[in-house]
Structure 1
Amino acid sequence: MRDIDIPLPIARTLLNPLFRVILNDRLPWRVQRMLMDIGSRAQLVPGDTVVHRLRLAGRPAERIAARRGPAVSDQRHSRVPAWSRSATSSGPVAHTAVSDQRHSRVPAWSRSATSSGPATHTAVSDQRHSRVPAWSHSATSSGPATHTAVGAVLYLHGGGYAVGSMTTHRSLAARLAHETGCAVYLLDYRLAPEHPFPAALDDAETAFLELVREAGYRPDQIAIAGDSAGGGLSLATAQRLIGRHGMTPAALGLIAPWTDPNQIPDRDRDLVINKSWSRSCAAAYLGGADGNDPGYAPLRGELRGLPPTYVQVDVSELLHAQCVELVAGLRGAGVHVRFTESHGLWHVAQLQASLVGPAAAAVRELADFLREAAQPVSVRDLG
């Protein structure tokens, strides 16, 4: 990965005014979303990343994985968008591939070569007229493959439930894919205020169920990860899956999770988040719902029976105290918890992993945790 290691003081100096401008509750949501997408161009997608566009829970989604074979060099008909190019003068990131599934009539899960289709090593394949589903690596006439050894990660992006997108989190999801060896499914769930609670939770629940029922994963092969609001959504999704469906995910990876939007920060701001903006997000997501609903505030929900959970947060964040409370609650409920408190980073610095060394180290630690949970070694797998 072609990373840049910017010293932390310089990175903080550069990012502070950027976040002050973008995460401003006086700006319309659509403007904030646009600015975040533009700003994310500096977050480099690792080389040898394959991105397949598909539909999951009726929403746009991306299946992101590390390339496992040689790439075809002829890119004359490539439809790779601008985000797959590195922000340097040296040109596009090596071997970043995109498969466009927007007009496909087939589930997005198959990539195996057949006599009528392209080989699996094709760097960029246009799937608009494909009739093969998009998340399986070996679909045949007998149906989608069942994943027995390789797990998956369902990633739910942050952004206060009102901003954020696949564009803003593609780089982080790609790094997790490379570090875990798992496919990472990045979901474009519905955002508030256009779609208040429980729209995002409904989308995340349905996405997980589709990965089980249609993609062939077992529930204990799918880890759920997310940052900030996406971290809270990950926790709420796991609670709903356990309570409604008896399905327990492999693990939870929570980066500075916002697990109770009812709590008011005791400070005005940290480097990234400010109190006024966070209160606007909380109100937009709640809509006319009950703020005591555990789906909205999963910190107040049932914590017993949750899978192994890793929580990362910096001590400088507005959400630090809430994360400490969450970890204490999880441990009190008998959940296996790993908790890391960084010093000198900022809210979801993992998004800038390609620019800041300590953030990249945090992503690697999270990936190690998720990989061990989603890809346990069994006697059957070894045989």
Structure 2
Amino acid sequence: MRDINIPLPIARTLLSPIFRVTLNARLPWQVQRVLLDIGSRAQFLPSGTIVHPLRLGGRPAERITARSAGPNLNAGAVLYLHGGGYAVGSLATHRSLAARLAHETGCAVYVLDYRLAPEHPYPAGLEDAESAFLELTGSIGYRPEQIALSGDSAGGGLSLATAQRLIAEHGYTPAALGLIAPWVDPNQVPDKFRDLVINRPWSRACAAAYLGTGDGTDTGYAPLHGELRGLPPTYVQVDVSELLHTQCADLVTALRAAGVHTWLAESKGLWHVAQLQAALVGPAAAALTELAVFLREAVQPVAMRDLG
């Protein structure tokens, strides 16, 4: 199915009530998850997408590739960690986004179904992401520098925390970090009550569910305050209207102060993780393409870079 391009004002009008109903702190987590999975059916897959279910790090996962890549499939890979406040989101909700990344990077994109709170609070998700990366470098055979970590919202924060742990505990530095509106400090209370997608009560409920009985000062929980030196090149996308905009700007400032090569892409008129609606909204597709270009260049083998 071909993409369509809904004008931004109409898209915002259509999406606002959906998010208000679905991401509601008064709804049980299981109900939110079901509603999001149902809604994901409107997020089309590009034609020629190959979805291969597998286990990765002991968890369900999907390896998504583009049939058009064929034998020219890039030697690198992307490990994608979905958003959803650590409490919702699934392989289904992010399959379309990951498929587009696979087509535009030429890489295999691995999407991980990490354990969710409140049933599995921190550090369960971080442990799952760490194990998945280690399996990619072990039995699957990638080198650490061939794997980019990418994620949105909570998955963006989880990507950062995973990179920090891999560097500190295994000496593995991923090829890059591609972060869409990363939630890197769940302790911070948003200044605004809501944006188009997220509202403050839901955000605080997610933070509490993820923390459980843990320590909020743990840098695995709030990686903004962890060790940033030595991280790989990092690309951060965020819309200026988002509740997380200030937090993302703080992250970029801290990364640059730590000597990390960092790019910030700020959109105007989109919404939190609008890239999920890339099949429906042209500017969202353009933002996702920018991320894909960054990831593709990061995971290209050195010899191929030199040819350019």
Question: Residue 165 of structure 2 is aligned with which of 228, 233, 240?
Answer: 240
Task: Work out the number of aligned pairs and report it.
Answer: 306
- Structure 2 counterpart of 1:221, one-letter code: Q
Question: Does structure 1 retain, via aligned residues, the 8 Å contact 2:275–2:285?
Answer: yes
What is the identity, as a one-letter code, of the residue corresponding to 1:190? Answer: R
Distance between the aligned counterparts of 2:182 and 2:125, measured in 1?
A: 15
Residue 375 (structure 1) shift? 1.0
Superposition deviation, residue 377 in structure 1 = 3.7
Structure with the largest fraction of helix: 2
Aligned to 1:91: none
| 1:252-273, Cα deviation, whole Å (9 max, x unpaired) | 0000000000000011100000
Deviations 1:295-318 (A, max 9, x none): 000000000000000000000000
The residue aligned with 2:38 is: 38
The Cα offsets for residues 28-78 of structure 1, whole Å up to 9 and x where unpaired, read as: 0000000000011110011000000000011100000000379xxxxxxxx
1:341 to 266, 269, 277: 266
Q: Aligned residue for 1:57?
A: 57
**Alpha-carbon distance in 2 for matches of 1:280, 1:68:** 42
SS in structure 2 of the partner of residue 41 of structure 1: helix
Alignment of 1:153-172 (within 5 A): 153-172=78-97
Q: 2:210 aligns with which of 272, 278, 285?
A: 285
Partner of 1:357: 282
TM-score (norm 1): 0.78
Does residue 218 of the first structure (1) align with residue 152 of the second (2)?
no
**d(CA) in 2 for partners of 1:301 and 1:15?**
35
User: Which of structures 1 and 2 has the larger relative contact order (alpha carbons within 8 angstroms, sep 6+)?
Assistant: 2
**1:150 deviation in Å?**
1.0
Name the CA shift for 1:276/1:62 in 2 (closer, same or farther; >3 Å): same
Q: Distance in 1 between matches of 2:192 and 2:26?
A: 19
Aligned to 2:115: 190
After the TM superposition, list the runs of 4 or more consecutive aligned residues in structure 1 that deviate by more than 2 angstroms: 379-382
The separation in 1 between residues aligned to 2:96 and 2:156, in whole angstroms, is 17
Equivalent residue runs for 1:132-211 within 5 Å: 150-211=75-136
In the TM superposition, residue 376 of structure 1 has moved relative to its aligned partner by 3.5
How far apart are 1:381 and its partner, in Å? 9.0
Counterpart CA distance in 1 for 2:146 and 2:288 is 20
Which position in structure 2 is the counterpart of 1:323? 248
1:214–1:295 distance in 2 versus 1, CA, 3 Å: same
Residue number among 249, 274, 281 corresponding to 2:174 in the alignment: 249
Instruction: For residues 172-222 of structure 1, give each alpha carbon's deviation from its aligned partner in whole angstroms, at most 9, with x where no partner exists.
Output: 000000000000000000000000000000000000000001111000000
Match of residue 3 from structure 2: 3
For residue 178 of structure 1, give the secondary structure of its aligned residue in structure 2.
helix
Matching residue of 1:314:
239
Q: What is the percentage of aligned positions where both structures have the same residue? A: 77
Structure index of larger Rg: 1
- Alpha-carbon shift at residue 380 of structure 1 (Å): 10
How far did residue 337 of structure 1 move? 0.5
Amino acid corresponding to residue 5 of structure 1 in structure 2:
N
TM-score by length of 2: 0.97
Query: Which consecutive residues of structure 1, in runs of 5 or more, have no partner in the other structure?
Result: 71-136, 138-146
Q: What residue number does 1:305 align with?
A: 230
- Tell me, in whole angstroms, the C-alpha distance in 2 between the residues paired with 1:376 and 1:2: 32
Separation of aligned partners in 1, 2:13 and 2:41: 18
RMSD (Å) for aligned C-alpha atoms: 1.5
